[in-house]
A = this chain, B = another copy of it.
Amino acid sequence: MSTLTTTLNAIQPVDQAAMAAAQDRQNNLTKPAGALGLVEDISIQLAGVQRQAKPSIGKPMVVVMAGDHGVTRSGVSAFPAEVTPQMVMNMLFGGAAINVLSKQIGAKTVIVDMGVAAELPDHPQLVNKKIAMGTGDITTEVAMTAAQATAAIEAGIDVINAQDAASFDILITGEMGIGNTTPAAAICAAITGAAPKDIVGRGTGVDDEGLARKQAAVEKALALHKPEADDALDILSTVGGFEIGGLAGAILATVAQGKPVLVDGFISTAAAMLAVLLNPDVQGYLIGGHRSQELGHKIMLDWLQINPLVDLGLRLGEGSGAALAYPIVATACKILSDMATFAEAAVSGKDA
């Protein structure tokens, strides 16, 4: 069996009995039932993921996948494509936002070259899974072949499975790739059927003309390739990106290990959609990190039925929003396990 099939087959639905037990405990903690809102919801979800009534999260791993995009030749980004390898180097030397954020939360960090259009030097923290020197320009050709699409996902699976399983208990997804909000928007349009004008946003800051070029590029790519709405591999191959495929694989492998995934912004969420298309049980393992500034992110979140934890006006990627949200996830578990119940604390309940 292929790596992808094995991984998809290993994914189980979340454990409803553990979730019911966690809900019951939440209702008996010394606070009005539901008064901790999403914090309670997350703790209950994690009970289902970890298949135990008192889940615990404490070992985050940030995986940043990098790739380049032929569509940048259509003028869809505010930054030149050379910034992708430059920012990968910046991450390897610890100067990027995600480095600071990973350190703050004590996360193990893995940087992966999935398809950067430059030769990167060997570095102990860089995992080389380069499929090609950037994707094709989706407005005139496929992003990648069908074989490359499968290879990208399986590379992502391998990145996760190569880690010591005990070294992390939650995956934080991140990415770097100049131009990658364009394929992410195309993926969203292909899956949801929403109009590109309602999805395409300013990314890292294109002006009005750049926004128009970006929207036109997504429309042209969809008209050219007509990807099947329920075929993740077809979508990834025709309008995707290597780092997006890698992230989809990383998500699948993490879920197959029975661990949750804290999803970052627009590009990571597109990858999560592909993972859910490949196995719908993935949905129960996803936690929304943040609400991106990017226009179509709400459409993605609604399709996935996930409610992000923070809304800080971010539009950076790299895993930054998910890393900022991470402490809330860890704390949600502590609330469930460590607070006193009404009976333990001899506190009176709500008036009948």
Contact = CB atoms under 8 A, between A and B. Distances in A.
Interface of A: 29-39, 78-80, 82-83, 86-87, 89-90, 93-97, 99-101, 103-105, 204-205, 293, 309-316, 320, 324, 327-328, 330-331, 334-335, 338-340, 344-351
Nearest to A293: B37
Contacts of A78: 32, 350-351
Nearest to A347: B86
Nearest to A39: B312
A267 to B, nearest CB: 14
A79 B35 CA distance: 13
A80 B352 CA distance: 10
Contacts of A80: 348, 351
Question: In the complex this chain forms, how many copies of it are found?
Answer: 2
Contact of A310 (B105, B205, B293, B309): B309
A100 B338 CA distance: 7
Contacts of A351: 78-80
A35 B335 contact: no
Contacts of A38: 312-313
Given A32-B205, A79-B351, A331-B324, A345 B95 contact: yes
Given A90-B340, A93-B340, A83 B348 contact: yes
Contacts of A86: 345-348
B340 A96 contact: yes
A316 B310 CA distance: 18
Contacts of A100: 331, 334-335, 338-339
A299 B85 CA distance: 46
Nearest to A326: B327
